Amino acid sequence: MLSDKQWEAQDNARTLARAEEIKADPAMLTAAKAAAGTMVKEEEERLKGLKKISGKKVKVEPEVAVGVYGNSLPGTNFGLGKIPGTW
């Protein structure tokens, strides 16, 4: 049985391999960028709702809201570049 760290390392390797596959295929990359743009709009709407109920100002950073598989660190999106409409 794999330890948690071993499982995480294998999962990260699969994620990175998938990102390389997407980057190498122009159609897949274009579709991913378009989907990310839609996801950003949806996330911004969700944050507006949270802002409204919290009474606090929330600054939306596009690179934080965009990430492959939703697990990217701020400023990292596996080389997909800026997503149209997010800057």
Q: Using CB atoms within 10 Å of the CB of residue 73, give its burial: 0 to 12 exposed, 13 to 18 middle, 19+ buried.
A: exposed
Per-residue pLDDT tens for 6-28? 999 999 999 999 999 999 999 99
pTM, two decimals, is: 0.54
Q: What ranges do the domains of the chain cover?
A: 4-70
Q: What is the pLDDT of residue 55?
A: 84
Is 80 exceeded by the pLDDT of residue 41?
Answer: yes
Per-residue pLDDT tens for 52-86? 898 876 565 655 444 444 544 445 455 555 555 55
Rounded CA-CA distance 50/66 in Å is 18
Q: What is the pLDDT of residue 56?
A: 73
